[in-house]
Amino acid sequence: MTEIRAMAREDIDAVCAIRVSGWRAAYAGIVPQPFLDAMDAEADAERRRGWFDAGNGRVDNLVASEGGELTGWAALGPYRGEQDGGEVGELYAIYVRPDRIGRGVGRALMDAVRTRATERGFQRLRLWVLADNEAALGFYARAGFGPDGTDQIERYNDVPLKELRYAADLH
């Protein structure tokens, strides 16, 4: 059974391992391989510890666990560029350990994200997804998200990749 709870500082190493392995699995063949190969869970954990320690309540980090072992992570907060207290939230990240994909962990995390976003007063939730990430596009569509017509280009090792903005109403 998947349990969802707020992330604790002692979860950071496991969360970063999930994040890096998630990137490598989800973006293989999409993001340049040298970029993926250069990702470092330990360096990511150092940065994330700093953010966590400086936490100002702006970001909610949620973790999924099964039998005490972390299997997923999600982060949400106000939509970037919006003032705190706005009606639009953003799912900044959601990752599931690659060996647990397809077993309900992502769905449980997404349900918790939607609940937490509603508790924070958000009326709408947005996220950015790489246009070529077909698995993620399907996951988000099943979770009630759809493209809102906005896109942007992000560069990974100078390779331009298109991101689509997806959105869902929370009420």
Among 101, 96, 88, 66, which residue's Cα sits nearest to residue 171?
A: 88
| pTM score of the predicted model | 0.94
As a whole-number percent, the residues of the chain with pLDDT over 70 amount to 98
* Cβ(167)–Cβ(117) below 8 Å: no
Q: Residue 115: how many CB atoms within 10 A of its CB? A: 13
pLDDT tens, position by position, 12-55: 999 999 999 999 999 999 999 999 999 999 999 999 999 998 87
